[in-house]
Amino acid sequence: MSILSRQRWEELTRRKNLSGAKALKAVKQDGFNLRYVIDQTPEICLAAVKQNGYALQHVKEQTPAICLAAVKQIRDALRYVEERFLDDDRKIIVVNGKTYRLMDEE
């Protein structure tokens, strides 16, 4: 661990009430730490999904920008995008014209 000492990092990840700057630092290290953040802000959620797209499953209030960042990080994160952002074919359409589609499950 370069930024945080190992002991300090373990302390942060054990806590289940992260917020503010500590939460942002934690999700930048591991997006799944979002599950321990009680006061999720768009900035914190965006940082989490940019680090790990699968963290989208822990976002309490999804936005198109957060969903798009998650899908860009890993296309399969589309499975965690809320239905309201998907069309009937389960596609998410981006403003710049790119379309991301769930991969067919076998």
Output the pTM of the full model. 0.75
Rounded-to-integer distance, Cα 7 and Cα 96, Å: 43
Mean pLDDT of the chain: 83
Tokens (6 digits) for 85: 């952002």
Is the pLDDT higher at 64 or at 89?
Answer: 64
Q: What is the DSSP string of 67-105?
A: HHHHHHH-GGGGGGS-GGGS-TTSEEE-TTS-EEEPPPP
pLDDT in tens, 6-45: 777 676 656 667 788 989 999 999 999 999 898 999 999 9
